[in-house]
């Protein structure tokens, strides 16, 4: 499994916002341990390059402290965490959580005093964790839409009609791509209702989908684009059967 598979050329994000917070991996989740220093370094480097939000939790506190990884040392197992304005890390054990393209990452570090860099109070040097928990975020396999096809999802949100290209889909949800302006207002947690999916030979209406993550990227042909990861909500059995049939046809064709 490639945890940091590139969607396209990464565009580094700005400071994380409250809606970017990522909840910790449940103790009962079927995650696995990443122990290779090289793999951990590659993953942290990916997070630094993309500017992905890092959610930090102190014991007994459900509110995330937000930041991002500023840089990763190319030779030593060290990295620098950049905290948001006007936040601080309490002493002791901290749980770090982040989202990768197809997985959730979690690790823990502990320090009696999180000393910052001289004259840079928001920048805190840290050492790689010994292990990271990784949870595959895709409960069902996804199939990429065929090259040259025009699979789309159409819906109306706040009175504004949208039509977006479908990048991949599964029984659990689908990935959409659109221009940056078209994605305005489509934030994590927003729900889309009565979504019409044009899947080649079939048109299917899904009662409800929820946006689970958004990620910006740059296309050499189209410029700034946004990838929306969406999850089906309470998918009806008849609709699920039709989607499963299409997935089977595409899987067989590939």
In this predicted model, what pLDDT tens digit does every residue of 4-51 receive, in sequence order?
433 333 456 678 988 889 899 888 777 889 998 888 998 999 899 888
In this predicted structure, what is the pLDDT of residue 109?
97
- Signed CA dihedral, 241, 145, 149, 234: sign only: positive
Query: What's the rounded Cα separation, in Å, for the pair 250 and 254?
Result: 6
In this predicted structure, what is the pLDDT of residue 4?
41
- Taking only the tens place, the pLDDT of each residue in 145-171 is 777 678 999 999 889 999 999 988 888
Q: What is the mean pLDDT of residues 216-221?
A: 68
In this predicted structure, what is the pLDDT of residue 11?
53
Query: pLDDT band at 138, cuts 50/70/90?
Result: low
Asked whether residue 127 carries a pLDDT value surpassing 90, the answer given is yes
CATH superfamily placement of domain 143-253: predicted glycosyltransferase like domains (2.40.10.220)
In this predicted structure, what is the pLDDT of residue 216?
75
Choosing among 2.60.40.1510, 3.30.420.40, 2.30.110.10, 3.30.530.50, the CATH entry for 9-136 is: 2.30.110.10
Contacts of 26 (CB under 8 A, 6+ apart): none
Q: What is the mean pLDDT of residues 109-137?
A: 92
Q: In what order do the strands lie in the sheet with 78-83?
A: 32-34, 132-136, 103-111, 92-100, 54-57, 65-72, 78-83, 123-127
Domain ranges of the chain: 9-136, 143-253
11-42 burial, b if ≥16 CB within 10 A, otherwise e? beeeebeeebbbebbeeeeebeebeeeeebbe
| DSSP string computed for the chain | --TT--SSEE----S--GGG--PPPPTTS--EEE--HHHHHHHHHHHHHHT--EEEE-TT--SPEEEEEEEE-SSSSEEEEEEPTT--PPSEEEEEEEEETTEEEEEEEEESS-PPBTTBTTEEEEE--S-EEEEE--SS--EEPPTT---EEEEEETTEEEEEEEEEE-SSEEEEEEETTTTTT--TT-EEEEEEEEETTEEEEEEEEEEEEEEEEEETTTEEEEEEEEEESS--HHHHHHHHHHHHHHHHH-
Q: What is the mean pLDDT of residues 169-196?
A: 88
Query: What's the rounded Cα separation, in Å, for the pair 247 and 169?
Result: 8
Report field, pTM of the whole predicted structure over 0.95: no
In this predicted structure, what is the pLDDT of residue 195?
95
């Amino acid at each position: 499994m490639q945890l940091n598979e590139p969607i396209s050329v990464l565009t580094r994000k700005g400071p994380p916002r409250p809606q970017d917070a990522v909840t910790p991996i449940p103790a009962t989740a079927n995650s696995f341990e990443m122990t290779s220093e090289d793999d951990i370094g590659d993953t942290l480097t990916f997070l630094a390059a993309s500017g992905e939000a890092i959610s930090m939790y102190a014991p007994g506190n459900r509110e995330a402290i937000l930041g991002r990884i500023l840089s990763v040392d190319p030779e030593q197992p060290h990295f620098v965490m950049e905290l948001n304005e006007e936040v601080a890390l309490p002493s002791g054990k901290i749980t770090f959580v982040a989202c990768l393209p197809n997985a959730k990452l979690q690790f823990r570090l502990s320090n009696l005093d999180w000393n910052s860099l001289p004259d840079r109070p928001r920048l805190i040097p840290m050492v790689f964790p010994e292990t990271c928990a990784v949870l595959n975020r895709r409960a069902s396999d996804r199939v990429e839409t065929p090259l040259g096809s025009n699979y789309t999802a159409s819906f109306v949100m706040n009175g504004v009609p949208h039509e977006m290209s479908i990048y991949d889909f599964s029984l659990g949800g689908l990935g959409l791509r659109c221009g940056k302006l078209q994605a305005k207002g489509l934030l994590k947690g927003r729900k889309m209702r009565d979504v019409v999916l044009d899947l080649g030979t079939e048109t299917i209406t899904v009662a409800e989908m929820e946006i689970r993550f958004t990620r910006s990227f740059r296309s050499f042909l189209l410029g700034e684009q946004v990838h929306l990861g969406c999850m089906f909500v309470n998918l009806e059995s008849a609709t699920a059967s039709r989607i499963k049939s299409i997935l089977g046809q595409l899987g067989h064709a590939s």
